């Protein structure tokens, strides 16, 4: 192999020669060349020349329906942020494809993972009991929480029993779902996020916008501004290494002095009572091992039966999320070390109810990789905070209404129904079909605006009658040719908002077909 064939990092001597040896087991693409590690090859996005205020998320008004379209419009009105967001996520999608194509058995892995999840969820009661028994045998204190509020009360009770006032925690979507950080702030408990993206969002008083990359909607200038305001860093230095190191330097003392540590859970193994977390920063290791009091929050759907099944999901998770072969740290928490105490809180929070929903229960298979978000054209261009929910993007569209139908009634309509989300899902959830099913449910239960209900009812009546449909099409085409612009682009024509109507065709397809294919009485 000549020097020209080497990756620049290999030529510089950064990559160990063993890694590029002919006998190594590194992943290779269809051309036989070793695949680059996704994070190591991410293309830097050039910082914008001027500061552009970061658009904020959806406006929350209690249980009133989220206006995702309004928030998305504000995000698109910030062109530098919108372009950078789209570029970052599409880059991850392309890396996911490269990693998937590098494994001949990729589709077999997806099918096997889907079957394992189907089996587990079909026998969830038995595996939960097995997990509890194994964890208790390991010396772990196991707790059960019916909802987010009970989860928060349980953790608060544990902390008060130990006189704990500070917690360092790793990234956990479940705790975000439970409103954990805000609840604890009201109880005088200080929570320090140790994940870089989560810490950025915490310091900026925002929720995470992405399952895997919580601050992906921010530019480096945004982060520099947040850190200057909260950590005292140089506001004019937006170098990524400087910003990351600044976060490490300010967070590490919190880790060393914390009264308790907390992690989420990627997979919970029923056979061994083990919690498995996957991170690229090692922050779960620090949060789960440095303090003497350890707490792990676990959604009950995270169960898998045996340790041998873990390898299937580990091979799928990071490749789907980032396009990298594996996360940097795959950590197993099974039993407390000598002199420490470990607690595991198993949380339902609507999952049992969802398990009983015939059309929607398979959403519980989700392993929180974010692949559906990275490929979704709506999510990429509107930002995760525009959804006003813990879970954004395609997976959020089918999960969020199970928590609150009224509040999240608009979200299933924030989709082009192109099916790309289903195509990339590592556990083969039929996401786009469930989005359509939710639209039907919400329409039947009158959980959509009256204007949209009226339009859908009128459209249904027209589409059900071929003669009426052809007449309507003909009238619309004729009108488009002669009506002035203000008459076409008005509030009643939602299709004309932010887009141009197509030119009216010379004739409809039906008219063309009748003229060219139905001659001489042919039907």
The Cα 156–Cα 187 span in angstroms is 8
What are 54-73's pLDDT values in tens digits?
Answer: 999 999 999 999 999 999 99
Which pLDDT score, from 0 to 100, does residue 455 have? 72
Lowest mean pLDDT among 21-25, 47-51, 88-92, 168-172: 21-25
Lowest mean pLDDT among 3-12, 37-46, 105-114, 353-362: 3-12
The Cα 156–Cα 154 span in angstroms is 5
pLDDT classification of 12: cutoffs 50, 70, 90: very low
Contacts of 92 (CB under 8 A, 6+ apart): 38, 321, 322, 323, 374
Its pTM stands at 0.85
First to last CA, the chain: 66
What are 92-125's pLDDT values in tens digits?
Answer: 999 999 999 999 999 999 999 999 999 999 999 9
The Cα 45–Cα 43 span in angstroms is 6
Percent of the chain with pLDDT over 70: 88
The Cα 294–Cα 134 span in angstroms is 17
What are the residue ranges spanned by the domains of the chain? Answer: 450-516
pLDDT at 521 over 60: no
| 243 close to 224: Cβ distance less than 8 angstroms | yes
pLDDT at 277 over 80: yes
Lowest mean pLDDT among 120-129, 308-317, 380-389, 462-471: 462-471
Contacts of 256 (CB under 8 A, 6+ apart): 290
Percent of the chain with pLDDT over 90: 72
pLDDT at 16 over 50: no
Phi, psi of 303 (to 5 degrees): -70, 140
The Cα 458–Cα 464 span in angstroms is 10
Which pLDDT score, from 0 to 100, does residue 21 have? 45
């Amino acid at each position: 192999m000549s020097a020209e064939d080497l990756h620049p990092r290999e030529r510089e001597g950064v990559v160990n020669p063993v890694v590029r040896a002919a006998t190594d087991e590194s992943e290779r693409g269809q051309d036989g060349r070793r695949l680059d590690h996704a994070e190591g090859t991410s293309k830097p996005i050039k910082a914008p020349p001027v500061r552009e205020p970061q658009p904020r998320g959806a406006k929350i008004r209690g249980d009133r329906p989220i206006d995702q379209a309004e928030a998305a419009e504000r995000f698109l009105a910030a062109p530098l942020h919108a372009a950078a967001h789209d570029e970052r996520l599409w880059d991850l999608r392309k890396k996911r494809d490269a990693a998937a194509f590098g494994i001949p058995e990729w589709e077999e892995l997806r099918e096997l993972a889907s079957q394992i999840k189907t089996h587990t969820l079909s026998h969830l009661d038995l595996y939960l009991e097995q997990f509890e028994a194994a964890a208790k045998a390991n010396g772990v204190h196991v707790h059960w929480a019916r909802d987010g509020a009970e989860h928060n009360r349980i953790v608060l009770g544990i902390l008060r029993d130990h006189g704990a006032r500070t917690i360092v925690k790793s990234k956990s979507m479940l705790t975000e779902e439970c409103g954990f950080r805000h609840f604890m702030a009201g109880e005088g408990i200080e929570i320090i996020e140790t994940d870089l993206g989560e810490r950025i969002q915490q310091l900026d008083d925002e929720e995470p916008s992405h399952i895997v990359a919580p601050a992906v909607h921010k530019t480096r200038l945004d982060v520099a501004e947040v850190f200057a305001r909260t950590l005292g860093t140089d506001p004019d230095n937006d170098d990524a290494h400087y910003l990351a190191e600044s976060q490490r330097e300010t967070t590490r003392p919190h880790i060393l002095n914390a009264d308790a540590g907390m992690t989420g859970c990627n997979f919970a193994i029923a056979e061994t009572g083990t919690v498995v977390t996957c991170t690229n920063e090692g922050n779960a290791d620090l949060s789960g091992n440095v303090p003497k009091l350890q707490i792990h929050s676990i959604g009950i759907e995270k169960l898998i039966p045996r340790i041998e099944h873990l390898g299937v999901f580990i091979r799928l998770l990071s490749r789907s999320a980032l396009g990298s072969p594996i996360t940097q740290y795959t950590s197993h928490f099974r039993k407390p070390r000598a002199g420490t105490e470990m607690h595991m809180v198993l949380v339902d929070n609507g999952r049992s109810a969802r398990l009983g929903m015939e059309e929607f229960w398979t959403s519980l298979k989700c392993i929180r990789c974010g692949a559906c978000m990275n490929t979704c054209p709506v999510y990429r261009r509107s930002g995760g905070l525009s959804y006003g929910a813990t879970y954004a993007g395609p997976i959020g569209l089918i999960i969020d209404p199970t928590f609150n139908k009224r509040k999240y009634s608009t979200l299933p309509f924030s989709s082009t129904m192109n099916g790309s989300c289903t195509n990339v899902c590592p556990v083969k959830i039929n996401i786009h079909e469930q989005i359509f099913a939710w639209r039907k449910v919400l329409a039947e239960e009158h959980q959509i605006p009256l204007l949209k209900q009226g339009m859908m009812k009128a459209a249904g009546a027209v589409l059900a009658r071929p003669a009426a449909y052809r007449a309507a099409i003909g009238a619309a085409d004729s009108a488009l040719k002669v009506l002035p612009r203000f008459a076409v682009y008005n509030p009643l024509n939602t299709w004309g908002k932010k887009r141009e109507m197509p030119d009216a065709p010379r004739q409809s397809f039906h008219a063309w077909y009748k003229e060219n294919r139905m001659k001489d009485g042919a039907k």
